[in-house]
Amino acid sequence: MLRDILLERKRDKEQEYTLHLFEYCNLRCSFCWQDHENIVGLDTITEKLIPIEKFLQTETRDSVVFNAMGGEIFAPEIFNQNLLQQYKDLTLGIKNLGLKYNKKVKINWVTNLVTDKYNEIDELMNYSKEVGVHSEMVTSYDPRGRFNRNDLEQFKKSMEYFGDRVTCISMLLNGPNIDYILQDKDAYFKKLYNEGKYIYFDYYMPDSSAEYQYPTAQDMLNVFKHFIDKYPKVHPIADWIENEKNYLSCRTSKLVLADGTMCNCGNLVQEEKSIKFYKSKIESMDNSGIEESFLNKYDCISCEYFDRCGLGCFMQHDYKFREELDECVYKLTHRYIDDVRLSRRAEPVECQTTPQH
């Protein structure tokens, strides 16, 4: 089908596997769907290699990035020698599976950095290097609903300690964060931006607290315009400004949950209390239903911005109570980028001061 061919060339060539090793966490972010007291999975880290191998058996991409996360993998209360050894074994297991299935593998350790377990983290990263698995650390920063004062201090300390070893800082576009971002008074965010850190704004996926967290399409448009005007280097905005063609934001992530369940991203909210918020039936191993309804709703295939656009998060747009604008919020954003470009082009050029010969 033409639609499949068009979409296929917009899919990232690197497949993402997200490993929720367990849900236990030392923080209680207000937007997070997980059960942070739950210790299921803590002692079965390497058993996740079984579902990972099942995914790999039918994997068509040559390159796989593993986002290994909790909950919080480096939470001081649980990150002991035993857990460190399990992470090392997981790393070695992933390396061996990569060799067996002829895949290039990489691991992102996803952490909230509210931890002082620096020796253990250093040991894990060094081990990864020794066995030849490329590993990076990625983190999250939210000005609202994430840190208390002490947690924020610990986070900042860790950012200083690990420096450029933290390769991505993800921030969430939920309602409270957007309200705060638009006030433009977050000095720490400005510091990160000015240091040239890779900052990625992620789409909020509705769960049972969506009533308080969900951004309207107007909120999204406002914050996108704010970034275009003041922070054009944050992602994915920088990609929309700089690239003619971009991959889909939705990486159709393959997931392994704490108990070993295999699924696609939509299954995260399969709980009874969350699932009623969605228009489509969410299938555990197949995202094509929500993808299809998004493409039909906006008629993306005939849109002038199809190549440049990332098409957002399909789960977010499937939310029953979404407050839409008359036109697609991404289309309005791409048009705004073009308008800003045109108006800059129309600005008077500087006068020539050196004499011409």
Ligand X SMILES: C[S@@+](CC[C@H](N)C(=O)[O-])C[C@H]1O[C@@H](n2cnc3c(N)ncnc32)[C@H](O)[C@@H]1O
Q: Which listed option, ligand SF4, ligand X, none, makes contact with residue 107 (CB within 5 to 8 Å by class)?
A: none
Reduce the DSSP state of residue 234 to 3 states and report it.
coil
What residues numbered 184-213 form the site for ligand X, per CB under 6 A?
Answer: 202, 204-205, 207
Q: Which listed option, ligand SF4, ligand X, none, makes contact with residue 110 (CB within 5 to 8 Å by class)?
A: ligand X
Bridge partners (DSSP) of residue 63 are 14, 104
The two structure tokens encoding residue 57: 């058996």
| H/E run at residue 132 | none
The one among 97, 110, 159, 329 contacting ligand X by CB under 6 A = 110
| H/E run at residue 308 | none
Tell me whether residue 10 or residue 97 sits nearer to ligand SF4 (CB atom): 10
Could you identify the residue written with the tokens 């490993």?
Answer: 19
173 sits near ligand X (criterion: CB under 6 A): no
Q: Which listed option, ligand X, ligand SF4, none, makes contact with residue 311 (CB within 5 to 8 Å by class)?
A: ligand SF4
Tell me whether residue 168 or residue 238 sits nearer to ligand X (CB atom): 168
Backbone angles phi, psi at 140, to 5 degrees: -135, 145
Tell me whether residue 70 or residue 98 sits nearer to ligand SF4 (CB atom): 70
The distance of closest approach from Cβ of residue 16 to ligand SF4 in the complex, given in angstroms and rounded to an integer, is 17
Tell me whether residue 34 or residue 67 sits nearer to ligand SF4 (CB atom): 34
Backbone angles phi, psi at 340, to 5 degrees: -60, -45
How far apart, in whole angstroms, are the C-alpha atoms of residue 82 and residue 237? Answer: 41
Q: Within 13 A of 66's CA, how many CA atoms are on the CB side?
A: 32
How far apart, in whole angstroms, are the C-alpha atoms of residue 291 and residue 319? Answer: 13
Asked if 27 contacts 73 with a C-beta cutoff of 8 angstroms, the reply is no
The distance of closest approach from Cβ of residue 217 to ligand SF4 in the complex, given in angstroms and rounded to an integer, is 11
The one among 63, 170, 208, 270 contacting ligand X by CB under 6 A = 170
Interface residue list for ligand SF4 (CB under 6 A)? 25, 27-29, 32, 34, 36, 70-72, 112, 298, 300, 303, 305-306, 309, 311, 328, 330-331, 334
140 sits near ligand X (criterion: CB under 6 A): yes
290 sits near ligand X (criterion: CB under 6 A): no
The distance of closest approach from Cβ of residue 32 to ligand X in the complex, given in angstroms and rounded to an integer, is 4
The one among 49, 68, 72, 333 contacting ligand X by CB under 6 A = 72
Q: Which listed option, ligand SF4, ligand X, none, makes contact with residue 306 (CB within 5 to 8 Å by class)?
A: ligand SF4
| H/E run at residue 201 | strand 199-203
Asked if 31 contacts 205 with a C-beta cutoff of 8 angstroms, the reply is no
Q: Which listed option, ligand SF4, ligand X, none, makes contact with residue 205 (CB within 5 to 8 Å by class)?
A: ligand X
Q: Which listed option, ligand X, ligand SF4, none, makes contact with residue 309 (CB within 5 to 8 Å by class)?
A: ligand SF4
What residues numbered 261-280 form the site for ligand X, per CB under 6 A?
Answer: none
CA angle, corner 52, sides to 72 and 98, nearest 5?
Answer: 105
Count of Cβ atoms closer than 10 Å to residue 105 Cβ: 22
The distance of closest approach from Cβ of residue 91 to ligand SF4 in the complex, given in angstroms and rounded to an integer, is 21
Sheet holding 254-256, edge to edge: 199-203, 166-173, 134-140, 104-111, 63-69, 14-20, 254-256, 262-264
How far apart, in whole angstroms, are the C-alpha atoms of residue 93 and residue 211? Answer: 41
Which residue, 187, 209, 217, 239, is CA-closest to 330?
217
What residues numbered 8-67 form the site for ligand X, per CB under 6 A?
Answer: 25, 31-34
What is the binding site for ligand X (CB under 6 A)?
A: 25, 31-34, 69-70, 72, 110-112, 139-140, 170, 172, 202, 204-205, 207
